[in-house]
Structure 1
Amino acid sequence: MSAPATPLYHWQHRAQDELQTMMHSHVSDAAFPCVGAKAALAKGTLDVLACNRIDSAWDDLRIHDGLIKFAKAYRDSPALFRSFAVVFEGPEQLSETEFEAALWERVQSLSDKDVWRGQDYDSRVSPDPENPHFSLSFGGQAFFIVGLHPNASRPARRFSRPAMVFNLHDQFETLRAEGRYEGLREKIMIRDEALAGTRNPMLSRHGEASEARQYSGRAVGDAWQCPFSYSGDGK
Structure 2
Amino acid sequence: MTIPATPLFPWVHDAQSALESLLQQHVAARDFPCVGAKAALARGTLMVLACTRIDSAWDDLRIHDALMRFAADYRAQPGLFRSFAVVFDGPDALDENAFEAALWQRLQSLSDKDVWRGQSYDARVSADPDDPHFSLSFGGEAFFVVGLHPAASRPARRFARPTLVFNLHDQFETLRADGRYETMREAIMVRDEAIAGSRNPMLARHGEMSEARQYSGRAVDPQWRCPFQYGGGEAA
Aligned 1:1-235 pairs, distance under 5 A: 12-235=12-235
SS of alignment partner, residue 48 of structure 2 = strand
Tell me which amino acid in the other structure corresponds to 2:54. Answer: I
Query: TM-score normalized by structure 1?
Result: 0.95
Please say if residues 13 and 51 of structure 2, whose CA atoms lie closer than 8 Å, have aligned partners that are also in contact: no
Please say if residues 13 and 52 of structure 2, whose CA atoms lie closer than 8 Å, have aligned partners that are also in contact: no
State the Cα distance separating 1:12 from its structure 2 match. 3.7
Question: Whole-Å Cα distance in 1 between the matches of residues 81 and 210 of structure 2?
Answer: 23
Q: Percent identity?
A: 72
Q: String of CA shifts for 1:126-147, please: whole Å, max 9, x gaps.
A: 0000000000000000000000
Tell me which amino acid in the other structure corresponds to 1:203. Answer: L
SS of alignment partner, residue 30 of structure 1 = coil
Tell me which amino acid in the other structure corresponds to 1:86. Answer: V
Query: TM-score normalized by structure 2?
Result: 0.94
Question: Whole-Å Cα distance in 1 between the matches of residues 147 and 13 of structure 2?
Answer: 23
Runs of 5+ consecutive residues of structure 1 not aligned to the other structure: 1-8
When the two structures are aligned, how many residues end up with a matched partner? 226
Question: Whole-Å Cα distance in 2 between the matches of residues 40 and 164 of structure 1?
Answer: 15
Question: Whole-Å Cα distance in 2 between the matches of residues 13 and 129 of structure 1?
Answer: 32
Question: Whole-Å Cα distance in 1 between the matches of residues 53 and 27 of structure 2?
Answer: 21
Question: Whole-Å Cα distance in 2 between the matches of residues 203 and 19 of structure 1?
Answer: 28
Q: CA RMSD in A?
A: 1.1
Please say if residues 129 and 212 of structure 2, whose CA atoms lie closer than 8 Å, have aligned partners that are also in contact: yes
Tell me which amino acid in the other structure corresponds to 2:62. Answer: R
Question: Whole-Å Cα distance in 1 between the matches of residues 50 and 14 of structure 2?
Answer: 9
- TM superposition outliers: structure 1 runs of 4+ over 2 Å: 11-14
SS of alignment partner, residue 14 of structure 1 = coil
For 2:6, the equivalent position in structure 1 comes to none
Question: Whole-Å Cα distance in 1 between the matches of residues 39 and 75 of structure 2?
Answer: 19
Change in Cα spacing, 1:13 to 1:55, as seen in structure 2 (3 Å) is: closer
Please say if residues 40 and 82 of structure 2, whose CA atoms lie closer than 8 Å, have aligned partners that are also in contact: yes
Q: String of CA shifts for 1:40-68, please: whole Å, max 9, x gaps.
A: 00000000000000000000000000000
Report the more deviating stretch, 102-111 or 11-20: 11-20
Question: Whole-Å Cα distance in 2 between the matches of residues 78 and 151 of structure 1?
Answer: 35
State the Cα distance separating 1:13 from its structure 2 match. 4.7
